[in-house]
Amino acid sequence: MNLSRNAICGIEAFRCTIRDTVIDSVLLIGGGRAPDSLVRRVAGTVPCIATADSGLDHAVELGLAPGLICGDMDSVSNSSLSRRYPSARIHRFDREKDETDTEIGLRLLRESGFVNPVLFGGGASGRPDHYFGILWTFERAIAPRGWIDSDAEMLVVEKGEQFDVQNDPGTIISCFPVGPGPFSFASDGLRWPLHGLQWTREMNGMSNVIDKPRLTIAVTAGRILVVRPFVVDTERNGTELANGTWRVTA
């Protein structure tokens, strides 16, 4: 099933094949923001838009209408913003709580039947503990499907799934085993193949290089997090992403 057609509106950064999977929701969170053009196009294809804390500010600025608003609202620019969406389900929490706002948003989405969300935001914001907190959500039994922050797009590929993407040779890509394991991966198109290795949690595939026009990564055991950095081309008003020889218009 091609996510670029069924869930992400042809955005090249997510042109991949993942069997039996469709992105069903987005969760806008605080921190360094994902490129507006990507957020708009992905949000326009899913049945549920959710915000956690100051992710609400981003939704308002982009003219999106969230159906789920949650968090302690301690970093939202104006606590009354949620009143603009009378039909949204609003869940307010005290600051003293056992879950982060992102964790709350993911849990509420899952309880509502949305099991393949993509996170938007959470990039570098002076709080590395927040960044690690988001990364830790990919270690859980039920992980987000993807994460796009201010610097990279990341996608989870589960056991039995295949990641298939077209990229210009020379593109940098990194792969990390996440979750409990054991792990077993196969690849075609990488300079340093993923198969034939005894993967453990102590290993990673940092800064690998795509050597063919098409890359395939298959997961036969465990879960892998595929990370592709990008930079925003400010000369094009943030509407184009560039990564070495890889350029993609969103």
Predicted confidence (pLDDT) per residue in 7-52, tens digit: 333 444 444 445 445 788 999 998 888 888 888 888 888 899 999 9
In a domain, residue 245? The reply is no
- The total number of structural domains that make up the chain: 2
Closest to 147 measured CA to CA, from 212, 205, 230, 218:
230
Q: Which two tokens stand for residue 19?
A: 């069997």
Decide which of 43 and 225 is more confident.
225
Read off the pTM: 0.85
Q: Output the pLDDT for position 8.
A: 34
Name the residue range of residue 113's domain. 3-150
Whether residues 112 and 217 fall in one domain: no
Among 111, 130, 150, which residue terminates a domain?
150
pLDDT digits (tens, 9 = 90+) for 65-96: 999 999 888 888 887 888 888 989 998 888 78
Whether residues 19 and 111 fall in one domain: yes
Q: Which residue has the tokens 């053009």?
A: 37
Give start and end residues of each alpha helix (H) in the chain.
Answer: 3-6, 36-43, 55-62, 101-111, 128-136
Whether residues 23 and 117 fall in one domain: yes
Q: Which residue has the tokens 């890889």?
A: 246
